[in-house]
Amino acid sequence: MIWLHSKLKGAQSYLCVVVTLVLICALGSATAEIKLTDSLSVSGFLDMSSTTTSGGDETEIGLSFDQFELDFKIEQGSVTGYVDIDSTGPDAGIKLEQGYVTYTLPESTVSGVSIKAGRFLSAMGFEAAEPTGLFQYSFSEGIPYPGYQNGIGIDVKPAEQVGIYVALLSGVWDVNDTNVKDPGIEAQVALTPIEQITAKVGYAMDKLEDYSQSEINAWVQFAQGPLTLAGEFDILTNWGADGKNGTHFLGMANVSLADMIAAPVAVTLRFSGISLDDEDSSNEFTLSPSYSATDNWLLLAEFKQRLDAEETIIAVESLFTF
């Protein structure tokens, strides 16, 4: 059976997005972060995709406008404000994704220290929360990272190769948790021993109802020339309402073929999975070629095989940034 998921109500929105993409590309590419005034700049993206999911005798085909986002940056001396608003579909409306203020202490007082307060993205994890920071279309299998959070965070850079981050949060994994009676914490150490290597180790813990859940996250990335390699490992403790323990892992390689074939093409390979107590492990393998049509327009395909579920997912994505 083939199910074609489309909404007549959203058809006009999809058409508008396509027309907008074509017009913007025809008018020429824009650079990231458009400066509106001396203190205000804006950036963002438009993301669309089509996916085909096959498992057993069933196949599901989808076409969707995934996300529209506008990011505002307001600079006033040592204080910088960030406001991100987005919409993830015709019926989702527009919502505040994050909004926070960062204060950088004067160099004459303390060097390399900044404080932020508001709603902001967790520092944990290798894979980015937005499609603009991903090497492929989907997230890794069982991705356990926290998302957006409410709280106060402090960044300290005691040396050029070392960064330390600590945050006190009302909720680590639930952005709607605003109760600070049982606050959560997040901490991370970042190391860049040489230009090509970045390594980060982080810890997050939060009390959810009547149990405490925690995660230790560690990842390392090597990037030089056309090659990027990354590996990640998570230790999950008292995970979920059943209090299970487990692990999550990720291995990834991205290669740019631009120098070989004289075209802006890249290929990503990824293997990831998650394993929890008393549950079968869940693993996936991903192959994702991409083509940069312009500096702002990325076309991407993904072939993902979920090994344990015997499920195949094929995706095509159009991502326009400005």
- Closest listed residue to residue 301, CA positions, set 312, 288, 311, 313: 288
* Distance (Å, whole) CA 109 – CA 199: 28
pLDDT at 24: 39
- In this prediction, residues 67-95 reach a mean pLDDT of 93
Per-residue b or e along 164-188, where b marks 16 or more CB atoms closer than 10 Å to that residue's CB: ebebebbbbbbbebeeeeebbebbb
Res. 80: pLDDT tops 90: yes
For residue 13, the one-letter residue type is S
Question: What is the rounded CA–CA span in Å between residue 285 and residue 299?
Answer: 20
Looking at the DSSP assignment, which residues form a beta bridge with residue 303?
287, 314
246 is in which domain, residue-wise?
2-28+35-321
| Contact (Cβ atoms closer than 8 angstroms) between residue 265 and residue 241 | no
The confidence score (pLDDT) of residue 32 equals: 65
Per the structure, how many domains does the chain have? 1
For residue range 126-144, what is the model confidence (pLDDT) as tens digits?
A: 999 999 999 999 999 999 9
What mean pLDDT do residues 101-124 have? 94
Higher pLDDT, 314 or 107: 314
Q: Considering Cα of 79, then 129, then 24, then 8, what sign does the dihedral take?
A: negative
- Tell me what percent of the residues of the chain surpass a pLDDT of 90: 78
Whether the predicted pLDDT of 16 surpasses 80: no
How crowded is residue 20: how many other Cβ atoms within 10 Å of its Cβ?
A: 13
Task: Name the residue with tokens 């299998």.
Answer: 141
What is the rounded distance in angstroms from the CA atom of residue 86 to the CA atom of residue 194?
A: 36
Indicate which CATH number applies to the domain containing 16: 2.40.160.10
Predicted confidence at residue 110, as pLDDT, reads 84
What is the arithmetic mean of pLDDT over 295-322? 96
List Cβ neighbours of 274 (8 Å cut-off, separation of 6 or more): 141, 142, 144, 246, 247, 248, 249, 281, 282
19, pLDDT greater than 60: no
Q: Whose CA is closest to 98, among 151, 142, 164?
A: 151
Say whether pLDDT at 272 is over 80.
yes
CA distance 121 to 139: 16
Please state the rounded mean pLDDT for residues 231-252.
94
The mean predicted confidence, pLDDT, of the chain is 89
How much is the pLDDT for 89?
Answer: 77
58-76 and 79-87 strand pairing: antiparallel
